[in-house]
Amino acid sequence: MVFEILGYSGIKVTAIIIELLNIGLLSGLLYLYTKSYRQIKIGFTVGLILFAIMLLIKSITTIGFLIVDSDALIGHPVYIGGIIEVIALVILLKITYDY
């Protein structure tokens, strides 16, 4: 039996949850980067802010495509890519928070 919520397959629901987790982590990074930029105004911090904004846009559009295109079969690369992004963002958030 295939896991379904509101007509979406289990893999789509899982991919949406992963992207929501990415949005939460990116929001945390964006908060830390803007807080840091207010203290020390350097170009590196602006680059980090832009990096976080671009990944945030990617995650939001991915959720939009997953919700709108309900007939398309989502592949495992999107699912695995989301998991890898979560792990990378957790590492980046920890490093950013510590330093």
Q: How far apart are CA 93 and CA 15, in angstroms?
A: 21
- In the block, residue with structure tokens 């807080």: 35
Mean pLDDT by 10 residues, the chain (99 residues): 62 84 94 94 84 86 77 58 80 80
- Residue 73: the pLDDT is 52
Rounded to a whole number of angstroms, the distance between the first and last alpha carbons of the chain is 47
Its pTM stands at: 0.72
> Which residues of the chain form beta strands (DSSP E)?
4-5, 8-9
Give the type of residue at 50: L
pLDDT of residue 34: 95
Residue 61 carries which side chain, given as an amino acid letter? T
Domain boundaries, the chain: 9-98
At 37, phi and psi to the nearest 5? -65, -35
